[in-house]
Structure formats: structure tokens, C-alpha cells
A = this chain, B = another copy of it.
Amino acid sequence: MRLVVIGGMGAGLSAAARARRVDSALEVVVLEGGDTISFGACGLPFYIEGRIASLDELSIYTPDYFRRERNIEVRTRARVQQIRHSSRELLLAGGERLGYDRLVIATGARPNKTVLGSTPPPNAFTLNSIEDGRRLKDFLENSRPRRAAVIGASYIGLEAADALRTRGLAVTVYEASGHVLGREEPELTTTVRDELRRAGIELLLNTPVARVNDVDCDLLVAAAGLLPNVEEAAQAGVQVGATGAIAVGDNMETSIAGIFAVGDCAEARHIVTGRPAYFPLGTTANRMGRVAGACAAGARERFAGIAGTAIVKLCGLDIGVTGLSLAQAAKEGFHPVSSRVKALDKPKYFQGQPTTIELVADRQTRRLLGGSVLGHEGVLGRIDVIAASITSRLRVEEFEQLDLAYTPPLAPALDPLLVAAHQLLKLLD
């Protein structure tokens, strides 16, 4: 019995490792098209900024580690050209054929390069692969650009903008929509725009850029979202969902039995809406991989879904989101109500700073639907508490009574989360 995993990044490797643990007799092979496995693309902006010295630090594991420690064969430069499911075999570049019994597709995603056109100029970049990172860093060091344009106020786009600003460039971010980070939340967008401006980054909202030449800059980074790599899967007859990513069930199996899909190429069920969503994030990828690996090895597990939790540090401000914003909740058919409060993250006498919390709940069920946290300390923990509470389907009155920790050097006696909950309860009554 052989399990083949296509893709050697987080999702694929999680699947392989989990399958091995569930069934020690299973043959597990991972095929990676590039040279490197286990590469954390989330670290690229910090490499560009100069906080991470070497790209090597972003790759946690080697093929050798998997072979030696996990009894998993990991092949690099093994590019899959075709999935021939009728004969249960893969056609690799170079002509080799490799049979499989179970298949996990973890082909990831690629940056949307539409804006770059068919022949991108040498000063245009994306920021997704090791090669991307190397090229951009070289360009920065050799060409000494002074003005940068970033296309897309996505996570990677804004992190890249921050990194370039830190290196001394004048940065302008062009965003086609009216909001940042894919979050329809006007106050959050305004705060982020103001903070970026204070730090010297210009953010232009509702400003689509059709072609590279339309913007005046020495350096351009295209960060207008990711496109899932679904071509080989679709060609093999695997169903692609409405989001454009591969449709999967709760066990991560695709429309074809025995073929699983995980990570940035796959959809996932959203915990709040119950519908498929596309959130290409590393954390989600790892969790999907674990479930697919277990199921591909014969165990029964289900993926609990995603809450859309994310966090980003921009110009010293931490911004966390989870679940749905008010606008998103309304579009999804809820009857949402939201509270937005500003409260100190620590007692005044410990130099507490304001943190801003938005909580969204459904008027009918009184359940929490989402939230955002902006501040300087404790943002990670607070957005995680909201995420856990959404997952647990807590009502606002239950959330309001959470027994949260308190000590003056770290938090105020009444946590900002509970201040926001009190405010929301008043609106619900």
C-alpha cells in the first residue's frame, strides 16, 4: 500500500508524517517539484527586511530528516505532470511513472501575476518562493531602489511594504478594494491606513492597477492574492469548488475517493458560515494535512474547519482577525450586531496602551460570529480566545463570563475582551 503526497511544504509533510504515525507499514512518498521542502513563505518579508539573515532559516526540515527519522521518502525536483487516476499512477516530468494507492494533493498556490503581464520587467517581483526572496533581496542590494509600489493590501503585501519601509524605501500600496487584509471592516481599514501613513507608507484604497507600467516606481511587488494550483487535479477529474480551490469533504477527501487535497490548493469549511471558504494560511494547511494523512492511512478523522483567524504585525501594531466582520456577517445572511471598544491592555500604572476590540454577534442566536483586535500587546492571545469561543459556538453572555487571567504587569482586572462583551450585551438587550 503506497501513499503518495504531491507537494513538500507544510500541508504535504504534515499529511505524510501523520499517515506514517497512523500506519507504520504504509509506504509514504512525498514528491516536491522544487529543491527545498518545508519552506515557510511567511518568513520572506522578514528576510527582505533583514531580520532573518539567511533563507536557510526558513526551511525547517530536510528530505534526509524525513527519510531517517520518519521512514518517509521525500524526493525533490520531482514534478508531477499528470495524475492518471484510472491506472492509479502519476506521470513525472522526465517521463517516470509512479503508482499510488492513496494520493494527497498539496500543490499549494501561486501569486496572482496578472498585473505583471506576459513579460514582467526586471524590477517586478512576487513574494512566495525561495527564489522570489533571493531575487528581491539581490535587487534591493544591487540596484538600490528608492521608491517601491506594492500591489495588494494583503497580508504579504502589507508585510512587504513594512519591510521595504524599514529598509528606507518610500512605499505606496495600491489596493483595488476598499479594505485591507481581505477584511470588510471599515474602522479596521481606517486604523491600518492611518498607522501605515504615520510610519511613512501611503495606502491607496479603491485603486486597481491594471499593468505594471501604470505606477511610477523603482521596484514593484505584486501581492494581489494567491491562486490555488488545481490544474493537474482538475484534469484528473477532481472537482473544483466555487472558490476556485479543490472541493473537499470533512475528511479532506476530494470528489474522487482515495484522493485527498490539503493546504493552499484546497477549500475548507468555514466554522461560522458552514460553507466552503478559501483561506490559504500555513496554520490551516498544517491542520488539514494532519487530518488528510490520518484518513489516507485508514483512520477516521474530520477537519473541524477554519475560523479565518489571522494576525499580522505592521509598523509596530498587531492586528488580529477571526470569524466574520459585521459586513461579512450581514452578507452571509446573519442579523449581526457589533461592539467596538478601546480599552487599556494593562493597568494605567503599568503603562497600559489602548487596544481596540470589535466583537460581532448574531442578534437571533446571540452567538459570537467574529472579532478583531488591534494593539501593541496581547493581541495574539485575545484573537485566539475569540477564535476558540467562535469554534465553541459561545453566546455573548457565556463569553462575557470567561474566567480570564489577570495580573497587573500583563493585563487589566477587566480584560478588554470582556469590556467589548459587556458593550455588545447592551446592544443585544
Chain A interface residues toward B at CB < 8 A:
10, 40, 42-43, 46, 51-52, 57-58, 271, 281-284, 286-287, 301, 303-313, 318, 320, 322, 347-350, 378-385, 387-389, 391-392, 394, 397-398, 401-411, 413-415
Residue of B nearest to A351 (CB): B51
- Which of the residues B378, B383, B398, B409 comes within 8 Å of A313, measured between beta carbons? B409
A309 to B42, Cβ gap below 8 A?
no
Residues of B within 8 A of A385 (CB): 381, 384-385, 388
- Which of the residues B42, B403, B415 comes within 8 Å of A284, measured between beta carbons? B403
A404 to B392, Cβ gap below 8 A?
no
Residues of B within 8 A of A388 (CB): 385, 388-389, 392, 394, 402, 404
Residue of B nearest to A348 (CB): B57
Residue of B nearest to A406 (CB): B283
Residue of B nearest to A52 (CB): B349
Residue of B nearest to A380 (CB): B410
Q: How far is the CA of A405 from the CA of B155 in the complex (A)?
A: 13
Residues of B within 8 A of A408 (CB): 40, 42-43, 46
A391 to B402, Cβ gap below 8 A?
yes
- Which of the residues B284, B348, B403 comes within 8 Å of A322, measured between beta carbons? B403
> With contacts A282-B406, A347-B43, A392-B394 known, is A384 near B381, CB below 8 A?
yes
A286 to B349, Cβ gap below 8 A?
no
Residues of B within 8 A of A283 (CB): 403-406, 413-415
- Top-9 shortest CB links A-B: A381-B381, A392-B392, A311-B405, A304-B401, A307-B403, A57-B349, A309-B403, A283-B406, A313-B409
A286 to B392, Cβ gap below 8 A?
no
Q: How far is the CA of A389 from the CA of B384 in the complex (A)?
A: 11
B349 to A405, Cβ gap below 8 A?
no
Residues of B within 8 A of A303 (CB): 401
A43 to B349, Cβ gap below 8 A?
yes
Residues of B within 8 A of A392 (CB): 388-389, 392, 394, 398
Residue from A286, A403, A411 with most neighbouring chain B CB atoms (10 Å)? A403
Residue of B nearest to A40 (CB): B413
Residue from A304, A322, A383 with most neighbouring chain B CB atoms (10 Å)? A304
B313 to A410, Cβ gap below 8 A?
yes
Q: How far is the CA of A404 from the CA of B322 in the complex (A)?
A: 9
Residues of B within 8 A of A51 (CB): 349-350
Residues of B within 8 A of A271 (CB): 403
Q: How far is the CA of A350 from the CA of B46 in the complex (A)?
A: 9
Closest chain-B Cβ to A343's Cβ sits at a distance in Å of 13
B401 to A287, Cβ gap below 8 A?
yes
Q: How far is the CA of A343 from the CA of B222 in the complex (A)?
A: 35
A384 to B407, Cβ gap below 8 A?
no
> With contacts A380-B405, A391-B403, A403-B391 known, is A311 near B413, CB below 8 A?
no
Residue from A380, A394, A409, A413 with most neighbouring chain B CB atoms (10 Å)? A380
Residue from A305, A378, A383, A391 with most neighbouring chain B CB atoms (10 Å)? A391
Residues of B within 8 A of A10 (CB): 413
Residues of B within 8 A of A379 (CB): 410
- Which of the residues B281, B348, B403 comes within 8 Å of A308, measured between beta carbons? B403
